[in-house]
Amino acid sequence: MAAWTTPIVSGLHRCLLPKGRMDLGFLQFELDYYPVTIYQIMSVPPALMFYHLSIIGHLSLTARYIFLLFGGLLMAIVSMGPYAVLVLIPSVLSVVFIFSLEPRIVHKCTLLTQMVWQTMCHLWLHYKDYYLQETTDIKFTIALSSLMLLTQRVTSMTLDFHEGEIRIPARIMRQNGLGSKILYCSLPYFSYMLYFPALLGGPLCSFQMFRIHMENLEKTDKKNMAKPLRSFFKKCVLFFMLNMLRMSVRNCISVMEQSDQGPLQWDVSKDILLIWITALMFRLAYYSQWFLSESLNNLVGLGLDKNTTGKANFSDVDIWTLETTNKISEFARTWNKTTACWLRRMVYDRSKVQPLMSTFVFSAWWHGLHPGQIFGFILWAVTVKADYRVHQYMDSLTAGSRFLRVLYKVLTWMQTQLVTAYILVAVELRSFSCALVLCKSFCTVCPLLYVLVLIGTPNKPSKN
């Protein structure tokens, strides 16, 4: 038994930790590990300038669209270099589809074209990573990430056309004629797809929300200028705090590596702790980046107007819910919330066969189809389905006892933490070899229990 369990800790360390000592400073670590952060910080001054000039009336509606579009093009060239064409080509093609196709087919054509283009880029990444064993150019990685975000915005917008929430421009063109009006009418769509605050990070903003915000900017009270700044500084503080915490967690992993230099032996507690603390490091990285991306959108006023969002703000992160929930299904709905809502709208609500599994398979496709991602997302779908069944039975069994209720919530919280940690590490490590190492860990018991629950218990009929 010890023969296949002893390599777990050292195997995960080889997958997770770079060569060399963990003695880099905070800023250098950000430059090496998250270079996109630097480009996002560079967009702060133009975002402030845009909002200030807009609310004092120095930018017309057309000028506002051009400002955001030009900023996006400049940001793409600086951050992606020649790989910026990977984002610009599908943007132009999407606008061509919008102006030339009927509402009933524009969404399907755009979705298929966008996903095929994105998949080709991902396959090229696979070829370089797994076959050629080459280090991928960071600018290509940034372009690929931006392309994934573009897919969200484009398909969300074309689905609005398909469902009749937005009038398709093709009809407007037939009524008003072609010519110079095409360029003018296409400006909002190009601006929405490439506006610089969201080019490198979320959250997903609908086209309707974007357009209404742009049209109402000059009507904003000048006293509200402090509002986006307040939101920006608050989220920047959270960004730096979470990053410092992430550095501490990463150092803990380094200490665990150094303590395992002796003879290998099976240590279940260390096995589980390593996977959980590694997932914590990844979660902190996501939380911090989500806060930074949201703050940039807030700087241009997006997400702060209750009239356009229906709530105080729009956000990808709810740390309290993610860290305290005892339901894997709730974790799935809350993790990267705007993307989860996009996946639900794109796949779950429209799928007639196995909508839950279809949603997670599509998510694996959208993320890039790395072996670890395929394994992780399929396992996530299975555990979410099992999670529904577990709570369906346990809610009724523990209803009469407060002690059993508390015990049930504590145990299911621990199970949720370990299962989601296992899945997150599998998805983030990506490669087949690292997924195989993960499968040999004792932590595999946690998702396996839910798989057995799904197989061994019948679905309890819901009460009407």
Question: Burial, 185: exposed, middle or buried (Cβ in 10 Å; 0-12, 13-18, 19+)?
Answer: middle
Q: Whole-angstrom Cα distance, residue 100 to residue 172? A: 11
Sign of CA dihedral 56, 57, 60, 63: negative
Sign of CA dihedral 383, 384, 390, 395: positive
The predicted structure's pLDDT at residue 131:
79
Sign of CA dihedral 421, 422, 428, 429: positive
Q: Whole-angstrom Cα distance, residue 226 to residue 25? A: 32
Q: Whole-angstrom Cα distance, residue 230 to residue 295? A: 10
The predicted structure's pLDDT at residue 26:
39
The predicted structure's pLDDT at residue 306:
59
Q: Whole-angstrom Cα distance, residue 22 to residue 155? A: 42
Question: Burial, 106: exposed, middle or buried (Cβ in 10 Å; 0-12, 13-18, 19+)?
Answer: buried
* Domain residue ranges of the chain, discontinuous segments joined by +: 26-222, 228-250+267-456
Full pLDDT tens readout for the chain, 464 residues: 333 333 344 445 445 544 333 333 433 444 445 678 889 999 999 999 999 898 888 889 999 999 999 999 999 999 999 999 999 999 999 998 988 888 788 999 999 999 999 999 999 998 888 777 777 788 999 999 999 999 999 999 999 988 888 876 655 555 555 545 666 788 999 999 999 999 998 799 999 999 999 988 877 666 655 578 888 999 999 999 998 899 888 888 777 766 655 444 456 777 888 889 989 999 999 999 999 999 999 999 888 765 554 444 578 889 999 999 999 999 999 999 999 999 999 999 998 889 999 999 999 999 999 999 999 999 999 999 999 888 888 877 777 788 888 899 999 999 999 999 999 999 988 888 888 888 888 888 888 988 888 887 776 654 43
Instruction: From 109, 290, 116, select the one nearest 203 (Cα to Cα).
Output: 290
Secondary structure string (H, E, C) spanning the chain: CHHHHCCHHHHHHHHHCCCCCCCCCHHHHHHHHCHHHHHHHHCHHHHHHHHHHHHCCCCCHHHHHHHHHHHHHHHHHHHHHHHHHHHHHHHHHHHHHHHHCCHHHHHHHHHHHHHHHHHHHHHHHHHHHHHCCCCCCHHHHHHHHHHHHHHHHHHHHHHHHHCCCCCCHHHHHHHHCCCHHHHHHHHHHHHHHHCHHHCCCCCCCCHHHHHHHHHHHHHCCHHHHHHHHHHHHHHHHHHHHHHHHHHHHHHHHHHHHHCCCCCCCCCHHHHHHHHHHHHHHHHHHHHHHHHHHHHHHHHCCCCCCHHHHCCCCCCCCCHHHHHHCCCHHHHHHHCCHHHHHHHHHHHHCCCCCCHHHHHHHHHHHHHCCCHHHHHHHHHHHHHHHHHHHHHHHHHHHCCCCHHHHHHHHHHHHHHHHHHHHHHHHHHHHCCHHHHHHHHCCHHHHHHHHHHHHHHHCCCCCCCC
Residue partners of 333: CB distance under 8 A and separation at least 6: 340
Active site residues: 336, 367
The predicted structure's pLDDT at residue 326:
92
Token code pair at residue 182: 């095409």
